[in-house]
């Protein structure tokens, strides 16, 4: 078997799926099954070894077009590793099409397909790990642009959404974020469709307006950004996409999951789960009698600690940016968005602090004094203010009506929120006071705060209720709502029964025809955005549409 070829500087070529026509069919070549390693070679085969072997076996039993697959394999054998990875989804689509075109599917068809694809995902992860661990190939990876970059971004997100990537998830996540920043694209699955507003606007703020929405029958929160035309604001919108990309790679019980992006009424939107309990302020106003405020405070600390351990500064911690899950757990939202709000607000010369990232009652003195950026220390200061609100039921400096007066008290007089009798624990008040230290480097870290909260004498109890979501929550939602079928979604949609059951799969979303991998043209007119049933026969095209050409398009120069 040939070794993986070095990456060619002219750049990977993508399968031109809409322009490809396989040769005429011939009799099945069953003898090829025993000679697979000699016929099928190269990195592409190493990546698809299990699935292509199963496809050849199945079409061979039906005297299908094994020779056509062999001819394609000969073309693909010239690909290097990076090109093979970029073409991964297209190759799966082509092979899956030949498989489904067989006149008779074998027993346990669905289970076998799922098992073979799962085996190959592990090989894809290994190959991607190899590319990203080598300085030369990693440089070539980061130089990809256009359709090639889009294919790699989609593949990386598919891998991150699968269990097979656990062993190198940080490496894949970092590569995804870096490539997205370089090429100014994001994974296709981030763009949702069919989002509908429900009722009236729920809230508004510096970022935009919040609506309740529906996607595939599930309630979601729709946070829409106000429309701006300035070039600087366009740059902020690009940053919004980058922040959303980072948000998607994070998962924690005290962090609000991210579903995707949507354009509603010409306004970019962030889509996340809808929380019936509302934000922290709403929840505290209707708090249950058995509420443990110290435990709820620990929830918030755990969420911020997770962000800080991932080198992420929230930048706008306050009650309005902390939601309460169905099980009563605090979950943090809007992290990373404050700098975007700042840029938009400054450009529009908005004077209200409420319209800007950050709120004076929660902001550290160094933020009120100068243009210093948010950091871990300013997050800790704001975190203590949130804890104060949970413990007392009142906003910091509740006795002062105007924000301007709060700024004077904090900056000029060095004031801090006043202690109320409800905070009877000296240790708890001392912890809050330490978080409000005038010198940022003397404030405790979130890890230390959590230790002091949970250890005696404070002894906060961490809720042991089952989490409201897990690491796969966002991926499962997008796979259900997405029109384009990603590899993990296909694995989840094919039932592990027999061939007959695989022909009748119900879905809440229609399947959109695959896009041409070079020109982004749909293979045919997309189906209407309505609920319908679909089956495995329509999951991918059985074979490419008839065209006069038969080639693999080299898109050199797009990297």
Using CA atoms, how far apart are residues 309 and 490, in angstroms rounded to an integer? 34
Q: What is the dihedral of CA 289, 282, 240, 228, to 10 degrees?
A: 180
Q: Which residues contact 399 (CB under 8 A, 6 or more apart)?
A: 418
pLDDT band at 38 (very low <50, low <70, confident <90, very high): low
Please choose, from the candidates 157, 237, 162, the residue with its C-alpha nearest in 3D space to the C-alpha of residue 190.
157
| pLDDT digits 0-9 by tens, 306-326 | 999 988 899 999 999 999 999
pLDDT tens string 53-95: 888 888 876 666 778 888 888 889 999 999 999 999 999 989 9
pLDDT of the residue at 519: 32
| For residues 462-475, average pLDDT | 77
At residue 221, φ and ψ (nearest 5 deg) are -100, 130
Residues 184-226: tens digit of each pLDDT? 888 988 888 888 888 888 887 666 788 999 988 889 999 887 6
Question: What is the per-residue pLDDT for 204?
Answer: 74
Domains of the chain and CATH, by start: 15-186+482-559 (no CATH), 190-273 (3.30.200.20), 280-454 (1.10.510.10)
What mean pLDDT is reported for the chain? 76
Write down the pLDDT at residue 233.
55
Q: What is the pTM of this model?
A: 0.75
| Residue for token pair 């289970």 | 111
Identify whether the C-beta of residue 13 lies closer than 8 Å to the C-beta of residue 553: yes
Whether the ω angle into residue 457 lies within 30 degrees of 0, i.e. cis, is yes
Residue 336 — left, alpha, or beta (φ > 0 → left; ψ -120 to 50 → alpha)?
Answer: left
512-525: per-residue pLDDT in tens? 323 333 333 333 33
Residue 160: its H or E element: helix 146-160
> Is residue 256 scored above 90 in pLDDT?
yes
């Amino acid at each position: 078997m040939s070794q993986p070829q070095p990456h060619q500087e002219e750049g990977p070529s993508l399968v031109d799926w809409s322009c490809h026509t396989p040769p005429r069919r011939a009799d099945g070549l069953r003898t090829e099954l025993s000679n697979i390693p000699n016929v099928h070679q190269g990195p592409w085969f190493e990546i698809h070894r299990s699935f292509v072997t199963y496809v050849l076996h199945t079409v061979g039993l039906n005297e299908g077009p094994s020779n056509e697959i062999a001819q394609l394999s000969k073309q693909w054998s010239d690909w290097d590793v990076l090109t093979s990875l970029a073409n991964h989804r297209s190759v799966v689509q082509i092979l899956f099409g030949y498989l489904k075109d067989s006149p008779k599917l074998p027993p346990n068809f669905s289970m076998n397909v799922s098992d073979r694809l799962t085996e190959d995902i592990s090989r894809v992860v290994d190959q991607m790990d190899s590319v990203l661990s080598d300085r030369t190939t990693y440089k070539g990876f980061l130089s990809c642009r256009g359709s090639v970059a889009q294919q790699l971004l989609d593949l990386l997100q598919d891998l991150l959404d699968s269990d097979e990537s656990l062993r190198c998830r940080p490496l894949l996540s970092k590569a995804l974020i870096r490539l997205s920043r370089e090429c100014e694209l994001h994974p296709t699955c981030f763009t949702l469709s069919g989002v509908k507003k429900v009722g009236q606007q729920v809230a508004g703020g510096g970022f935009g307006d919040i609506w309740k929405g529906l996607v595939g029958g599930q309630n979601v929160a729709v946070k829409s950004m106000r429309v701006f035309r300035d070039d600087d604001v366009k740059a902020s919108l690009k940053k919004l996409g980058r922040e959303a990309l980072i948000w998607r790679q994070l998962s924690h019980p005290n962090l609000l999951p991210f579903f995707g992006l949507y354009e509603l009424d010409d306004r970019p939107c962030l889509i996340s789960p809808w929380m019936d309990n509302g934000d922290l302020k709403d929840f505290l106003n209707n708090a249950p009698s058995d509420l443990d405020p110290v435990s709820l405070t620990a929830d918030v600390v755990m969420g911020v600690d997770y962000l800080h351990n991932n080198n992420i500064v929230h930048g706008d911690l306050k009650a309005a940016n902390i939601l309460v899950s169905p099980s009563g757990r605090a979950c943090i939202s809007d992290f990373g968005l404050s700098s975007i709000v700042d840029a938009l607000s400054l450009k529009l010369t908005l004077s209200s602090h409420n319209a800007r990232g950050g709120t004076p009652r929660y902001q550290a003195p160094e933020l009120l004094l100068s243009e210093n950026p948010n950091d871990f220390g300013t997050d800790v200061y704001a975190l203590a203010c949130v804890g104060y609100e949970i413990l007392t039921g009142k906003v910091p400096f509740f006795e002062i009506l105007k924000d301007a007066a709060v700024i004077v008290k904090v900056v000029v007089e060095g004031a801090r929120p006043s202690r109320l009798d409800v905070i009877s624990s000296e240790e708890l008040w001392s912890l809050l006071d330490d978080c409000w230290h005038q010198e940022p480097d003397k404030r405790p870290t979130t890890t230390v705060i959590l230790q002091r909260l949970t250890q005696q004498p404070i002894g906060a109890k961490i809720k042991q209720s089952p989490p409201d979501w897990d690491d796969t929550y966002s991926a499962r939602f997008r796979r259900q709502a997405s029109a384009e079928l990603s590899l993990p979604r296909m694995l989840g949609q094919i039932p592990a029964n027999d061939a007959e059951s695989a022909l009748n799969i119900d879905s809440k979303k229609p399947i959109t025809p695959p896009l041409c991998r070079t020109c982004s043209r749909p293979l045919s007119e997309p189906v209407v955005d309505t609920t319908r049933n679909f089956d495995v026969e329509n999951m991918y095209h059985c074979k490419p549409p008839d065209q006069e050409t038969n080639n693999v398009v080299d898109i050199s120069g797009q990297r």
